Structure 1
């Protein structure tokens, strides 16, 4: 079923990949604090390990001795895309559940059905098919090849959308997102994308060399991280249930302009007189409890009155507070960063990025333009 042309096999490299995949799977299962994403990643590593074993059997010519496994190497590429997507969903707190998992198993089932005729052959008949250059299976082989590439592209795109959606959700809920670094998920998706590019250009050594490197990188992040966040993650299912309930509630009793204005005035009062923005861990739920309103309603008020999400709104308050603070003579003995922390920022990167976003200049340039001399 495959027309790959590999003449030599650096078997030790691939055997090391198999060992790393299987050993990493065991290490992840052995973690004390496991989340659903850990189980998904452990299963995925095991699948990758088995795939590499099939690769060695096939491209080393050992399939002649073990023809029982012929055809399985075609199925495994269709598993990796769904596993990536399910892992991304789980690690961002949106555990898909077994029904969604089965739904994404449909492409694998379709491939099994397409290959059913081959699987019904005896091992030696399958061997004859492979040795004769897939006689009678050329069209099917081409169809499966294009379906394989399509599967890879679709699941890479779905995974990217899932991360972007989660990033937007974070900005609607939290005022500081520095602890919520999603870059490693992007690296993971990029790694899979590069492997699929190698599949498209049909460079077999490159494909499986990149798979081994991917295992090493994914194992590092999968073992060293419990999840993306260092704070509790709100699962999407719970959020959706809450939002569905609120949608019905709003449809029955949608807040009018007067109610929105009242909540907005109370919010501004809290910001001015209690300086809530100075809390680096401030989130939407904290303020909603103080105002005794639902978080969804508060988010709606901020979006409609400020035309910003929660993250941008709070960080704009912090920047304005910094501008007021830094010009005071008694504060010129402090550093710019210490004043930024006093105003609620929790990292230099976050402060500089947000300041430049709103002021079109760096904090240092702003201070110089104000003729302020910091110690």
Structure 2
């Protein structure tokens, strides 16, 4: 098998994988993150069309340029927008489109106008004008991709801070896999564009397609195992979504100082006696129900009274518990201690332990002379 045949095989895998994955996301058999998966499925299908020319050329054994069709090119332009909308709904399933969101159509309308001009103008009739339009055409595609990629990245980063206000185990709901996809695709596209400016891009096609295929399998693995991020029950979901992302954002006083002290004492008593932090599924809702206060008041008390977010507050108790087990229990493995302390994976345990103690659990155990 020569390089061309290998590249054709990779292209077939890419296209088939994207179409199959898009259908899985659109049908959503597990019925989780419904709106997010709908938009993510649309994104995957639109992404697959970028290899449609090559697939049809392989089938017909002739050069096919479907992507040069005005309607196809226009639809493909929505690919970064579809990705951004999926991120919006992953991070906020209660998001609703408003009239002001018509702003998302500004760039597509401008792009459609440019496509129409490109169809009516030829290089021979007005070469300078045609070249200018071509520059605008490419620039708009790049700007759209970079703009929505950047917007998606910062939306995910904001989400990762926000979920620490209501979840003590953020692994599986922090959307790290989407963040990695953005960074990899951005890097690949930069390399491709730069290489295309100075060299023949065809020689890079096989390498780029192999990377894309790897990314697609990565996407398939993590997107299909992505669990529901927020509670399905609407009232609970709305409560968590409206929790402020960071301590400094809480500007108004929600409760009196006396009430803050009362709730703070109740919380400290519950944590010492009932040890709810040992529950790996503990979240703000469960803890607020335990001490009979609203989620907003409890979040306010933790942020204001302890100067911490929910994630930090709960995991400090877990790490203290883990330290005792590491010193006292010789039978339990590191993974066993992680589970016993309320963590749901060894990775999250090691990461949190290292962050709070500047040591890994193994280093702590060795330094304790055990």
Q: TM-score, structure 2 length as denominator?
A: 0.76
- Asked if the contact 2:271/2:277 (under 8 Å) is kept, the reply is yes
Pick from 350, 353, 356 the counterpart of residue 351 of structure 2.
Answer: 353
- Asked if the contact 2:153/2:182 (under 8 Å) is kept, the reply is yes
Is residue 308 from structure 1 mapped to residue 308 from structure 2 by the alignment?
A: yes
Counterpart position of 1:173: 166
Counterpart position of 2:116: 116
Counterpart position of 2:187: 194
Equivalent residue pairs, number = 348
After TM superposition, the structure 1 = structure 2 runs for residues 79-228 of structure 1, keeping only pairs within 5 Å, are 79-94=78-93, 96-99=95-98, 103-119=103-119, 121=120, 129=122, 136-180=129-173, 182-198=175-191, 200-201=193-194, 203=196, 204-205=201-202, 206=204, 210=208, 213-214=211-212, 217-218=215-216, 221-222=219-220, 225-226=223-224, 228=226
CA offset at residue 88 of structure 1? 2.0
* Greater C-alpha radius of gyration: 1
| Residues 296-353 of structure 1, C-alpha deviations (whole Å, 9 max, x = no match) | 221121112222211111111122223345545xx44544543443232232222222
| Residues 54-106 of structure 1, C-alpha deviations (whole Å, 9 max, x = no match) | 57789x9947xx79955557545632221221122233453644558754333
Go from structure 1 to structure 2 and tell me whether the alpha carbon gap of 1:351 and 1:264 turns closer, same or farther (over 3 Å shift).
same
* C-alpha distance in structure 1 between counterparts of 2:26 and 2:276, whole Å: 41
Go from structure 1 to structure 2 and tell me whether the alpha carbon gap of 1:209 and 1:275 turns closer, same or farther (over 3 Å shift).
same
* C-alpha distance in structure 2 between counterparts of 1:317 and 1:281, whole Å: 15
* C-alpha distance in structure 2 between counterparts of 1:221 and 1:364, whole Å: 32
* C-alpha distance in structure 2 between counterparts of 1:348 and 1:78, whole Å: 42
Counterpart position of 1:290: 290
CA offset at residue 161 of structure 1? 0.9
- Asked if the contact 1:195/1:210 (under 8 Å) is kept, the reply is yes
Q: Pick which of 300-309 and 25-34 moved more.
A: 25-34
- Asked if the contact 1:179/1:230 (under 8 Å) is kept, the reply is no
Counterpart position of 1:264: 264
* C-alpha distance in structure 2 between counterparts of 1:316 and 1:68, whole Å: 54
- Which secondary structure does the structure 1 equivalent of 2:52 belong to? helix
Counterpart position of 1:247: none
* C-alpha distance in structure 2 between counterparts of 1:314 and 1:67, whole Å: 55
- Asked if the contact 1:288/1:294 (under 8 Å) is kept, the reply is yes
Q: Pick which of 341-350 and 227-236 moved more.
A: 227-236
Go from structure 1 to structure 2 and tell me whether the alpha carbon gap of 1:209 and 1:85 turns closer, same or farther (over 3 Å shift).
farther
- Asked if the contact 1:152/1:193 (under 8 Å) is kept, the reply is no
After TM superposition, the structure 1 = structure 2 runs for residues 38-49 of structure 1, keeping only pairs within 5 Å, are 38-49=37-48
Structure 1: segments with no counterpart, 5+ residues = 1-7, 245-249
Greater relative contact order (Cα 8 A, min sep 6): structure 1 or 2? 1
CA offset at residue 271 of structure 1? 0.8
| Residues 220-272 of structure 1, C-alpha deviations (whole Å, 9 max, x = no match) | 6347744633565468983588559xxxxx99983122211111111001111
CA offset at residue 116 of structure 1? 2.9
Go from structure 1 to structure 2 and tell me whether the alpha carbon gap of 1:190 and 1:366 turns closer, same or farther (over 3 Å shift).
closer
Counterpart position of 1:5: none
Counterpart position of 2:247: none
* C-alpha distance in structure 2 between counterparts of 1:279 and 1:321, whole Å: 12
Pick from 11, 18, 30 the counterpart of residue 21 of structure 1.
Answer: 18
Q: Pick which of 90-99 and 143-152 moved more.
A: 90-99
* C-alpha distance in structure 2 between counterparts of 1:94 and 1:344, whole Å: 27
* C-alpha distance in structure 1 between counterparts of 2:86 and 2:19, whole Å: 17
